[in-house]
């Protein structure tokens, strides 16, 4: 399945640098102790812009729900249809969600509630992305 090659900006550069080191980091607000993803200029919970720091997190979560994309409009993904789009909640903070196609899981066969872990895939020379895989 074709993957998007990230183009980091100033805000997301620390996230993508960590991914390239096979680490998962999220912004943490030191004012209200809230993790957030994707990176933003201010805390989603308390709106503080000064209290955001990067924190390494354990890349473990669970599949909360999913949909199957059968009629997507993205040209580069049409040949992959149908494919899963799962919502993964982070075990460390279940209010933090990620989306994943869950590599290796056939369409319509997503095990809701299953444990997943982050994995990293090279999408361009020297550029990794984060994915989520079901833990057997």
Residues 41 and 82 in one domain: no
Q: Phi and psi for 12 in degrees, rounded to 5?
A: -95, -5
CB–CB of 134/116 below 8 Å? yes
For 93-126, what is each residue's pLDDT tens digit? 999 999 998 999 999 999 999 999 999 999 999 9
Q: What domain range is 111 assigned to?
A: 59-136
Outline where the chain has alpha helix (H): 13-20
Q: How many residues does the structure list for the chain?
A: 136
Quick one: average pLDDT of 59-64? 98
CB–CB of 32/93 below 8 Å? no
Q: Is the pLDDT of residue 131 over 90?
A: yes
Domain count, the chain: 2
- Per-residue pLDDT, 105: 96
- Per-residue pLDDT, 53: 97
Residues 13 and 47 in one domain: yes
For 64-78, what is each residue's pLDDT tens digit? 999 999 887 766 667
Residues 105 and 47 in one domain: no
Dist CA 18 CA 120 (whole Å): 11
Residues 125 and 73 in one domain: yes
Q: What is the pTM of this model?
A: 0.90
């Amino acid at each position: 399945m074709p993957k998007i090659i990230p183009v980091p900006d100033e805000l997301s550069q620390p996230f993508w640098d960590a991914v390239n080191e096979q680490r998962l980091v999220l912004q943490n607000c030191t004012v209200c102790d809230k993790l957030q993803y994707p990176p933003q200029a201010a805390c989603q919970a308390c709106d503080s812009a000064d209290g955001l720091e990067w924190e390494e997190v354990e890349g473990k979560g669970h599949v909360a729900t999913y949909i199957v994309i059968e009629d997507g409009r993205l040209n580069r993904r049409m040949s992959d249809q149908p494919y899963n789009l799962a919502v993964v909640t982070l075990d460390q903070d279940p209010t933090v969600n990620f989306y994943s196609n869950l590599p290796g899981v056939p369409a319509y066969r997503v095990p809701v509630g299953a444990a997943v872990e982050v994995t990293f895939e090279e999408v361009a020379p020297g550029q990794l992305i984060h994915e989520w895989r079901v833990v057997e």
